[in-house]
Structure 1
Amino acid sequence: MKTIDDVLGNTWNVLNEIIENGKDIKPSVEFIESLGKCPKCGGKVFERAKTYSCENEDFILWKESKHYKEKFSINQEEAKKFLANETVQCTLISEDKKSRKANLKIKLNGEYVNFEEERESVGKCPICGKEVVESEKMFYCTGNKDGCVFKLWKEAKHFSNTLKITKSIAKKLLKKNGSSKFEVSGKDGNKKEVNLKIKINRNYVNFEEVKEIK
């Protein structure tokens, strides 16, 4: 383990080189704590002014990063978790300044460092059986990359009524033979409570009333 004198000695050596050579010299990082291993080459990753970077210049994790169009900050502890391939809960800020929590992991895409979001499943897709997850405006099937078209909008239409679909309601609807109660307007214009379930009509998600058996 290096002593304070060792650290100071290394620091002065670097400064003397800069002064004597009259040019920028890459500082030694031997006495700086490594935050983890580079996911590309296995080298050490160190904190810089604006980044967390690999000693071999093979990997850069920006302190101010983006997930698609949403921005978020990465502190030192979060950087350590990302480098350990852990999921990190981050606060994402959209272009219109709205914030939301998201669980992110590093996803390498060639020379680029991207992020993938781990979303909670709200149920099974009634079309293909894969997991359904939540986005800002809908609940959608994770099998969409394979061609599944299931989408349950958070503001869904049932005739002239707009149904507000929350996460808890979506979970009820996606259960086997699941249904949920909604307040809708009847033909006479009066409000009434009905029990609705999902009805798949080709590529569309409709609703139908569950009649009570008397």
Structure 2
Amino acid sequence: METEKKIIGRCPLCGGNVVKTCKGYRCEHNIGEQPTCVLNINGIIGNRKMNDDEIAGLLANRSILLDGFVTKEGKSFPTVLELADDGAVNMQSVIGKCPHCGGDIRVGSRAFNCSNYANQAAPCSFAIWRNIGGHQLTLAEAKEICGKQITSAELEMYREDGSIYRKRLGLSPDKLQIVKI
């Protein structure tokens, strides 16, 4: 009698099905006596329980921005989980380079911030708010602003009265502020 398995997504390493297990998520080709794949993702990462949709997003995109990770000291932080070619899941706080000064852009709980913010010699105040006009910025959109200086698509935003409008987000001429275009 065949037992039922919950399939979460496709393995980006070998193309097999990734199934939910008692300890997390594993490629079907990493089960049994002769495993041919190394993909095995823990169900708890950074003191945070992962859910099926988050793992499906990680499998599909190889990276996902998530909040709610917790240090050993109990401090909450956001991070980007990245799925490496060897199957490892790495926490990555840097998402790109600052378009203003060239420093690292790091994930913060409310914004993507330049790492040179507290640099005494050359402080940089560049930040991309994670919520602009009621739109929750995605990791891809923040990376586009840092790399291409504008989002490729118009984003849905909201006015105070609740009406919807669409704008692209880009950099101001001094590359210090995000503007709606």
1:101 is matched with 78
1:22-171 map, 5 Å: 28=2, 31-57=4-30, 58=37, 59-66=39-46, 71-85=47-61, 87-102=64-79, 104-117=80-93, 119=95, 123-125=99-101, 130=102, 132-134=104-106, 139-140=114-115, 151-153=116-118, 156=120, 170-171=125-126
CA distance in 1, matches of 2:84, 2:21: 20
Secondary structure in 2 matching 1:52: strand
Output the TM-score relative to the length of structure 1.
0.44
Residue 39 of structure 1 deviates from its aligned partner by 1.5
Residue type at the aligned position of 1:87: I
1:5 is matched with none
Residue 120 of structure 1 deviates from its aligned partner by 7.7
Relative distance call for 1:111 and 1:77 in structure 2 (3 A) is closer
Larger Rg: 1
List gaps (5 residues or longer) in structure 1.
1-9, 11-27, 141-150, 158-164, 179-214
CA distance in 1, matches of 2:104, 2:94: 12
* CA-to-aligned-CA distance 1:137-180 (integer Å, 9 cap, x gap): x833xxxxxxxxxx3317x48xxxxxxx8xxx8139x97397xx
CA distance in 1, matches of 2:64, 2:175: 34
Secondary structure in 2 matching 1:152: helix
Output the TM-score relative to the length of structure 2.
0.51
Relative distance call for 1:123 and 1:175 in structure 2 (3 A) is farther
Relative distance call for 1:73 and 1:133 in structure 2 (3 A) is same
CA distance in 2, matches of 1:108, 1:177: 32
Residue 62 of structure 1 deviates from its aligned partner by 0.4
CA distance in 1, matches of 2:86, 2:14: 13
CA distance in 2, matches of 1:72, 1:108: 20
Residue 48 of structure 1 deviates from its aligned partner by 0.6
8 Å CA contact 2:96, 2:105 repeated in 1: yes
1:201 is matched with none
Secondary structure in 1 matching 2:29: coil
List gaps (5 residues or longer) in structure 2.
31-36, 128-171, 177-181
Q: Figure out how many residues of one structure are paired with residues of the other and give that number.
A: 120
Residue type at the aligned position of 1:84: A
Residue type at the aligned position of 1:92: F
Relative distance call for 1:82 and 1:121 in structure 2 (3 A) is same
Relative distance call for 1:81 and 1:177 in structure 2 (3 A) is closer
8 Å CA contact 2:9, 2:56 repeated in 1: yes
